[in-house]
Amino acid sequence: MGKTNLLDAIYYCCVGKSYFNRSDRSVVRKSADFLRLEGKFIKGEDTLDIRVKLLLGKAKEISKNNVVYDRLMDHVGHLTSVMISPRDIQLFYEGSLERRKFIDFTISQYDREYLIALSHYNHIIKQRNALLKSFYHADPNNESLLEVYNLEIIDPANFIHRKRNEFIEKLAPLFTKYYNLISDSKEDGACVYTSQLESSAMKDLLIKSRERDLVMQRTTCGIHKDDLQFVLNDSPLKTFGSQGQLKSFVLALKLAQYELLFNYLEHQPILLLDDIFDKLDEERVRNLLSILKKDIFGQVFITDTKEQKLKSLLKELKIPFDCFTIKNGSVTTDEKA
């Protein structure tokens, strides 16, 4: 009916991209060639009018209070939003890239230097990989250029690794706290950061992997191989976790992300919960809603198809709410409590 679209529109205005679609083309309505989003946000004493314009084939444009950003990355961090969706469970099943994206996105919201270093690192990796591919097709090898890339990549790699370690040191205890609250401490959950740079310097890794890089025609070592591992009762989560436990891990991870962003940015992100009852029993939903009563959480949007069940829980927990019904993309006010 459009419930998820509404949440994604809020997220898009905050972050500058869709949560569910990597390609902007996929966000544009079928048979249309453009999209336009407008949102009015209250941040402290300021009112921010955010507009997103996208015409297929043209560069995306984001403006704040009628001033267009020169670069889209300049919008990052001005407004923050945390989305929790049933799709997030794939975070545990897919490759390490998705988990690194979670880390990178969160740090980039509060640390502009990190965003710049990450962009620089990815650019060098792209150039280095192109050079390694050229070695396979052309001769002689351009060893001097390879050495230049090796030297350029060391500083941003070390910086990113240090920032990720600092991030996990703050995230891990928050994650454990929220997992215990959601699960009533019935099991132990933890997240662990792994990196090749924990055991070797970036310079040494590049030297050791040189021959393999030439054979594979890509850079096989570095912080682009980092991962975030999840453990349930000392066992791998994706192997032994139930659907409810996996969803609880998602919730704990995102609530920890929310509190960390709040601590750094000193303003409350908007929390977006899509299909709250999906794969969660009523006890865990009740625990989650009880958590959201805490002062740290600001505006929360919740969608679900079990309307009466959700209303009943909110009233039982004495949580004030506005209820809206979405049908065929149209929103109507239903109830206040």
- For residue 151, is it within any domain? yes
In a domain, 125, yes or no: yes
Number of Cβ within a 10 Å radius of residue 167: 22
CATH number of the structural domain spanning residue 148: 1.20.1050.90
Specify the pTM. Answer: 0.91
| Most distant CA pair in the chain, distance | 74
Tell me the three state secondary structure of residue 86.
helix
- The encoded tokens of residue 45 equal 């004493």
Is the bond preceding residue 86 a cis peptide, omega within 30 degrees? no
How many Å apart are CA 332 and CA 328, to the nearest integer? 11
Report pLDDT for 156: 97
Residue 283 within any structural domain of the chain: no
Burial 72-107, CB ≥16 within 10 A → b, else e: eeebbbbbbbbbbbeebbebbeeeeeebbebbbebb
Q: What is the pLDDT of residue 17?
A: 92
Residue 111: name the closest of 171, 160, 178, 42 by CA.
160
Sequence-distant (≥ 6) Cβ neighbours of residue 208 within 8 angstroms: 200, 221
Is 157 part of a structural domain of the chain? yes
* Domain, as residue range, for 204: 91-263
Question: Residue 77 corresponds to which tokens in the numbers above?
Answer: 């961090």
Q: Give the residue among 219, 11, 243 at the shortest CA–CA distance from 135.
A: 219
Residue at 329 is within a domain? no
Strand (E) or helix (H) holding 114 = helix 112-137
- Is 178 among the domain residues? yes
Assigned domain for 235 exists: yes
Among all chains, which residue has been given the structure tokens 């043209």?
58
The number of domains in the chain is 1
Q: Tens digit of pLDDT per residue, the chain (337 long)?
A: 889 999 999 999 999 999 998 888 888 888 899 999 999 999 888 999 999 999 988 889 999 999 999 988 889 888 999 999 989 998 988 889 999 999 999 999 999 999 999 999 999 999 999 999 888 776 556 788 999 999 999 999 999 999 999 999 999 999 999 999 998 888 899 999 999 999 999 999 999 999 999 999 999 999 999 999 999 988 888 888 888 889 999 999 999 999 999 999 888 999 999 998 888 888 888 999 999 998 899 999 999 988 888 999 999 999 999 999 898 888 888 766 6
**Bridge-partner residues for 336, per DSSP?**
322
Distance CA 267, CA 48 (A): 14
